[in-house]
Structure formats: structure tokens, C-alpha cells
Structure 1
Amino acid sequence: MSTFDLSSSQTGGESPRTKRRENTTITPQGAPNRRNTELVLLAFAVVLPMLAYANVGLAMDGKLPSGMLGYGLGMGALALVAHLVMRRFAPYADPLLLPLATLLNGLGLVMIWRLDKAGSLLRKNFPAASNQLMWSALGVALFIGVVMVLKDHRILQRYTYISMVVALVLLAAPAFFPSRDEDFGAKIWIRFGSFSIQPGEFAKIILTVFFAGYLMVKRDALALASRRFMGMYLPRGRDLGPIIVVWLLSILILVFETDLGSSFLFFGLFVVMLYVATERTSWIVFGLLMSISGAALVATSEPHVKTRIDAWLDPMRAFAPNPPKTATEQIGQTLMAFGSGGTTGTGLGQGRSWLIQFAAKSDFILGSFGEELGLTGMMAIFLLYGLIVQRGLRTAVATRDPFGKLLAVGLSSAFALQVFVVAGGVTGLIPLTGMTMPFLAQGGSSLVANWALIAILLKISDSARRPAAEPAPTTTVDGATEPTRGALA
């Protein structure tokens, strides 16, 4: 809360009837309007993917792509409209988040178009760049809608328990729809003919709203400890209820929908927000123990999850003389793509990452970037993701209300966990989960949902950085305070 220091001292020897003194008002300085900075960064975020687009065309065809001008104008128009909306409805928001999302989205479009160019070299190759551009436009449209409609992020607190119900419906819905062979046992899509949507991408945002509202009310009770064991404060038994419910929910998702990534994301998100709300390390320990035990239980009983764990333990099994039918070569191909890229990469359009086959544009798009941009390019991409998370957490620190703090932490953590889960699975750090890399990978649901996530973060940032309103100057006459002449004019 902003405070004002109003001095009321008087100099000795002077009559208060003849002494007229104007009070000094100290107004805390808010963050300046940084929309011009955002505009300059947006121009860079549009030009850089255009140069990458031209590089791919020259490398593969020896000439500039015919659609380069249309692509540049389209991305530029989307970025400009989003920027103008920010100027009008969120003038004090963070200037980096929108350019960072635009840059990642643009680079993803270029790589998807580059993999489309592989043509017959890619089995079951379906051109996806045009669809991804359409989803990008829808994502920016939703971004604009959220920025315009969401006047104050604290309004979301009113819908805490409604958010829980909606999120549970979205998570459970795919279990009632049949899966296809190309889904490899995972039930995470809702399909209507040729149209499909992955509701879990939107559920992560809605669940974050529920967690923020619930923990803001219950954080004092959850922070209480009943006893100390091995240097840790153990929570009371009745306070373990919420974390056990979320743990069981994540296990049920994993069992009925075989969705390893969403289970890890939702449970990890709740544990992180619980730790931030209560500052109890014991919650992290309990969360890790329950997560490991649940994953071990499901891995021994669910064939789909067991297959992914086997591929993680031995990614080169598919290249053995007599590989099992369940062996997959994608992780091995991706690791070889990373190795081929080396430090500086083969160059855009000059790699062979299409050997990863059907998931090269979605789950394994990082393999394409790793081969053609090398370790240097991969570190730059992870730096962009890290900046988004850092700006989100910085927004949480600057936010005045506890609900906004928890919501910003939750959204930033959900984004960071998704990046970790996907990057860890592709690089062999953890078992593959089937989630998509935010903004880069092919997938309309993920792209649109992450644009909405960025929009909410920007609205929280605008509220946190907005300067406090300066009160009208006052004068003191005979101990009474009245507005200075002209202050009401």
C-alpha cells in the first residue's frame, strides 16, 4: 500500500492565523510507461523470424520464399494490433512479455514451415504452417480479448470454486472420447470430425486460478505445523487433505488418460504454489515423495507409461538387431540430431531432423532447433523461456495483493514446468510426456492457451506497475486542511 508523509510541524514564534504553509506530498514513483520500448522490441521480434524464414528458403531452394512478404506483414499486423491494445488497456504492463512470446511464436512458425518443406522425406507429412499461422492469429485474438475484458485480475478470485469445477470437467472430458491409433494410447484430445482440442492446456490456467484463490484463504491453516521430524516441520494431519486430493487426481488422470505430462504439471504446480503460500519446506518433501510413489505405481501397471519409461532408460533399443515392437526410435533420433548440431548447428534448412518423422513438428521440435542452431541456439531459446518466467515472477514480487502474487507465481510456474517437462523428455533427462513446447511446437490448443496465459500475466503486471494516484495538493489554515485554490478547477 502506498503511504503519504504529511508534515504538520510549525515554526516557533509565528501565529497560526498568519502562517500559511503548503504541505509537502510525497508520492511513490511507479514504473514508467514502457510501451515505446515494447514497440521497438516487437519490431525486432518480427524481423528476426523473417530473416530466419529467408535463410531457410535460401538454404533449401536457393531463393527467397515466395510467401516471405505475406508472412512478415501478417506477423507484423498481429504484433501491432496487440501493441495498440496494450497501449490502451494495459499501459504500465511489463514491456518484455509480449515481444518474447511473439519471437518464440515466429521462430516456431519458421521451423514448422521448414519441416513442411521436407515433403516426401517425412512419412505422413501434413503441411502445418498455414494452420499454425491461423492458430497464431486466434491466440493473439484471445490475448487481445483477455487484455480488454479483464479489467482487474482480482475479479478472478470470485470464481475460485467455479474454476475448480470447470477445470475438472475439462480434464475428465477426453476420457469419454475414443482415441486414435496415432495417439499411442493417450486420451488427451476432444475430437469433432477433423477438429480437435486439448482441454488440458486450458485447464492449467483455470486450475491456477483455483489454487491461487484457495491457498490465499487457507494459507495460514496450511502453514501450521504439529510436530518436527528430522529438521522438518510436519503439517497437521487434517491439512494434508488438499494435497492428497490433488495427488489422487493426478494419478487418476494418468491411469484413465495415460497423460504423464499433465499429471506431473498439475501436481507440481500445486506443490509449488503451496510452498510459496506457506513457506513450509515439508510440503515440497511430501510432494516429491507422493509424486515418486504414484509414478512408480502407475509405471508398473500401465503399459503405455511403462513403454515410455523403457524408451527413456534405453533410447537406442529401436536400433538393435531385433528390437521389440514397442521400441521407439524418436528419442534416439533426437539425441543424434543434437549431436549433429554440435555447438553452432548445421544452419537453418540444412539439417536432417525430419528423420524424427511424424512428431518432428510437435513433441520433438526442439530436436530440429538443436540440430540446425546447435547448442548456442538452444541456449538462446531457453534464455527466452527463462526471461518469460523471470518477468512473471518479478511481477509476482511487485504485486500488492496476495491473490495476484499467487496467481502470477502459479502461471509462471506452470509455464516453467511445461518447458522443463518437454525439454527434459526430448533430451532424455526424464521420460517423454507427450506435451508440446510453448509457442514453438505445432498445436493450436497449446498456442492459444499460452497466449491467454501471457495476457493474464500482463494484466497483473499492469496493476503492479501502475503508479498510485496523487491526491490533490492541500494547504493548512488554522489547523484545518482544505484544497489549494485551483486544485478543483
Structure 2
Amino acid sequence: MLKEFHSRWTELTLLIMAAAVFTITLVSLELSQGNELTTEILWIIGGFLGVLIGAHIVLCFLAPNSDQLMLPIVAVLNGIGLLMLARIDIAQETTLASRQVMWTIVGLVLFAAVLIIVRDHKVFTRFSYLLGVVGIVLLALPLVWPQPPGAEARIWIWLGPFSIQPGEFSKILLLLFFAMLLVQKRSLFTVAGYRFLGISLPRLRDLAPILIVWAIAIVIMGVSNDFGPALLLFSTVLGMLFMATGRVSWLLIGIILVAVGATGIYMISDKIQDRFSNFLDPLANYDNTGYQLSQALFGMSTGGITGSGLGNGYPELVPVAHSDFILAAIGEEFGLIGLSAVLILFALLVSRGFNTAMRVRDSYGKLVAGGLSLTVAIQVFVVTGGISALLPMTGLTTPFISAGGSALMANYILLAILLRISNTARRPQAEIAAPEDNAEVAEVRS
């Protein structure tokens, strides 16, 4: 037992540092606003510390060889999210931070469950088609689920007092499915068909998988009136396809399909037209659809390089600042320096994920780790571009930071899968030389 804990000393040290900074900052925030330390604050601190301790213990026993930087990075990101939600709670008299702690604990339970059930990431290959079907069903389930009056997008299902966004979980299931599909059919995607302007293009019949993804994304986007998740899924699958084949022609085809699909949706969707107009000139629609983005830009401009200081800004003036625009709130109170630090943390997390993809020995593990890392990178890129008016808003949230139970639980599942693959990749050679492991790897590669 002591050996497992000693082997993850780096992770434990970083987690202690993250917990100490979080506790001191949250207490300072409350005292600076003239508030007393209530049981709610103690719940937030205790819940956060409990999650860190629990996650560390789980990894010590279930994935002792896994990467020791991923969990501390996620802990800092999660802590920053809780701090900003506590700040917004003070301004709006809400309980966002307390609810987020509850969902973080649920996320840890799912995190541990994945590591307990999935002892080897290659087990997903046995159920790849089932995972694909379940992923499609979850993605389409809100289309037939009763929605509240006036709902802008059909992306939620209600189970009593709780609401769940199944698309967050379907994203992971579909990535697991497509990773297996690309491993099995890799030779088809690398067969040259035609040459155009010096670029080798695939044969038309080999385009079927990517065309199917494109069609499903377009249909679900059109019916649910939610375009961010479909764009994220398509972009990630396209990136995985490039990782599997190394052919630039697939990227060009994907860009063309995105352009065609985006143009078609723009022609029929008032929501997308409004978002594109706000992207071009948010101040022109300040009193209407451009108000949210305009206020976010005002806030970040006020924050400047060093920020207005935690507790000294006005993040509550930005509608839905706790979700879609939480990075804007961070930019206002922590400035460009603080926002850049958050983006660097995400860059480190993604780089550790790609490092895992490079180190794992089987092709399936490489594509899964690369795909899951890529989806985090794309999501952060799109969100950052949206709040800064460099890209149209998509409705995506910031992983581990934005308020929301579904996204937080799904991201902890994503982290568990990455750490499971990392554990396999970093195991000593003697532990992975078992005949059954080699046979399974050969089966996946075939």
C-alpha cells in the first residue's frame, strides 16, 4: 500500500499546493466582501478537498503508473471554476458554487467507476458498435423528450428535479466508436483515389464514414437548434482521421464539408444569423442579441492586463457568465495574465494527453487518447474565440470550469479514460508482456 502512495508523490504534492491556494483564495474573497465564513463556504472547501483526496487514492490503487500531472491540472481548473462561481454567487445571491461541488463529487464517483470497471482501455473494442449506437441515441434523445416552453435548443432531458445534457456523454461514446472504426478500416482511408492540384484524394466510396458523420451532425444541429456539440464532434473525428492516415486531403475535404454545412444552416437558422451578426459587430445589436458579447468585451477591456482583482469586477452584468462566458469573467477580474494562465493550463493538459497517445503501444489507444485530448483543445479554442469575438459563439462551455453537472461529469469520465490509457502506456515492460495482452493488441490492429 505504501509503495502505491510513494510512487505518486509528485501528484500528491501538486494537489496539496492546489488545495492550499484554493482555500486561501476563497477565504480571502469572502472576507474581502465583508462576509462571514458560513457552512456553505466550508462545504465548498471540504467538498473540493475531499474530491482531490479521493481521486488521488483511487489512482494510487487503480492506476498507479498513470500520468501524475493531469489530475493536479484538472484540480486547479476545477478550483478556478469554483472560485469564479463563488464570486458570481456573491454578486447574484445564488448557490452555483455549492451545486458545482455536488456535481464534482458525482464526477469523482464516475471517475472511480470507470477506473474500476475498465481495467484495460482495449475492452472498449469489444463493444465499439454498441457504444456508437448508444452515442447516437443519447445525442438524439432530447429531440423526442418533452422540452419546457420557450426552450431555445433541444439538448436537455428532465428526470424529476434534475436535468441532464446527454450530448456531453454521447461525445465520448462516439469518439470511442470512431477510434475503433479508424483502426479497423485504416487501410481504406489511406488508399489513393484521384489527384487534384498535386494532392491525393481518397476514393469516393471510402468517404462514406465521414459523410455519414457530417450528415448526422447536420440533421441533429438543424432539428435541435444547437450547433456547438455537432461542430465539436465533427472537428474531432476529422482530426482523428488525419492522425490515423496523415493525409492532408482529408482535412481539405472536412473544411469543404464544414463550409457547405455552415452555409446551409446559416440560410435557415435565425439563431446562427444572429450569432454571426454579433461576431461581426456586437455593438450594432447591443440592445438585443449582442448585449451578452458586448458586456463580456467591456468587462475584459476593463480588466486589462492585470485584471480588476477578484471581487472587484462586475461579472454579473454578463448574462450566463457562469456557463458560456465564464472565461470572460476570469479575464475581467484576473486580467489577460490570469486568462493566459488558464489557457496555458489547458495547453498542458492537452499536451499530456497527446504525450499519452505517443507513448501507448496500440493504435486504438493512440487514437482514443489523441481524440479525447483534441476534443478538449477544440472546445477551449472555440470558447476562447467566441468570448473575444474572434469566432461566432457556439454555446460550448469551458471544460472543468463552467457551471453544469453534465459537462463536469462527462469531463471526469474523459479524464479517467485518459489516465487509464496513460497507466497502460507507462507500465513496466514486464507487466505488459502477458500473452493475452499481446493477442488483444494484435486483434485490435487487425
TM-score, normalised to structure 1, is 0.84
* CA deviation after TM superposition for structure 1 residue 370, in Å: 0.4
Whole-Å separation in 2 of the counterparts to 1:254 and 1:69: 42
* CA deviation after TM superposition for structure 1 residue 34, in Å: 4.6
Deviations 1:127-166 (A, max 9, x none): 2221111001000111111112211000001111111100
The aligned length equals 429
Match of 1:176 among 130, 133, 144: 144
Pair 1:46-2:19 in alignment: yes
- Which residue does the alignment assign to 1:257? 224
Pair 1:360-2:321 in alignment: yes
Whole-Å separation in 2 of the counterparts to 1:471 and 1:236: 38
- Which residue does the alignment assign to 1:436? 397
* CA deviation after TM superposition for structure 1 residue 64, in Å: 5.5
- Give the helix-richer structure, 1 or 2: 2
Q: Partner letter of residue 454 of structure 1?
A: L
Match of 2:72 among 84, 99, 107: 99
Task: Give matches, 1:79-158, under 5 Å.
Answer: 79-119=52-92, 126-158=94-126
Deviations 1:230-285 (A, max 9, x none): 12111011101111111111111210011110111011011000000011100000
Contact 2:44/2:97, CA 8 A, preserved across alignment: no
Contact 1:142/1:452, CA 8 A, preserved across alignment: yes
Deviations 1:271-324 (A, max 9, x none): 0000000111000000011101100110111112222212212211233xxx5x
Per the alignment, in what secondary structure is the counterpart of residue 437 of structure 1?
A: coil
Whole-Å separation in 1 of the counterparts to 2:131 and 2:297: 40
Pair 1:467-2:428 in alignment: yes
Per the alignment, in what secondary structure is the counterpart of residue 300 of structure 1?
A: helix
CA RMSD, 1 decimal: 1.9
Contact 1:224/1:236, CA 8 A, preserved across alignment: yes
* CA deviation after TM superposition for structure 1 residue 95, in Å: 0.1
Moved more, 58-67 or 39-48: 58-67
Per the alignment, in what secondary structure is the counterpart of residue 191 of structure 1?
A: strand
- Which residue does the alignment assign to 1:397? 358
- Which residue does the alignment assign to 2:437? none
Q: Partner letter of residue 248 of structure 1?
A: A
* CA deviation after TM superposition for structure 1 residue 119, in Å: 2.8
Following TM superposition, the consecutive aligned residue runs of length 4 or more in structure 1 with deviations greater than 6 angstroms are none
- Which residue does the alignment assign to 2:374? 413
* CA deviation after TM superposition for structure 1 residue 70, in Å: 4.0
Q: Partner letter of residue 139 of structure 2?
A: L
Pair 1:278-2:214 in alignment: no
Match of 2:341 among 380, 395, 416: 380
Contact 1:204/1:414, CA 8 A, preserved across alignment: no
Deviations 1:373-423 (A, max 9, x none): 000000100011111100000000000011000110111111111112222
Contact 1:34/1:95, CA 8 A, preserved across alignment: no
Instruction: State the structure with more CA Rg.
Output: 1
* CA deviation after TM superposition for structure 1 residue 72, in Å: 2.8
* CA deviation after TM superposition for structure 1 residue 66, in Å: 5.8
Per the alignment, in what secondary structure is the counterpart of residue 456 of structure 1?
A: helix
Unpaired segments ≥5 residues, structure 1:
1-31, 121-125, 473-489
Q: Partner letter of residue 152 of structure 1?
A: D
Q: Partner letter of residue 430 of structure 1?
A: L
Q: Partner letter of residue 332 of structure 1?
A: S
Identity %: 42
Judging changes above 3 Å, is the alpha-carbon distance between structure 1 residues 351 and 181 closer, same or farther for their aligned structure 2 residues?
farther
Task: Give matches, 1:311-326, under 5 Å.
Answer: 311-319=278-286, 323=287
Whole-Å separation in 2 of the counterparts to 1:128 and 1:74: 14
Judging changes above 3 Å, is the alpha-carbon distance between structure 1 residues 80 and 241 closer, same or farther for their aligned structure 2 residues?
same
Whole-Å separation in 2 of the counterparts to 1:62 and 1:129: 16
Moved more, 386-395 or 141-150: 141-150
* CA deviation after TM superposition for structure 1 residue 433, in Å: 1.1
* CA deviation after TM superposition for structure 1 residue 470, in Å: 7.8
Pair 1:208-2:165 in alignment: no
Whole-Å separation in 1 of the counterparts to 2:322 and 2:158: 20
Whole-Å separation in 2 of the counterparts to 1:215 and 1:55: 50
Whole-Å separation in 1 of the counterparts to 2:6 and 2:179: 28
Whole-Å separation in 2 of the counterparts to 1:196 and 1:127: 17
Whole-Å separation in 2 of the counterparts to 1:370 and 1:182: 31
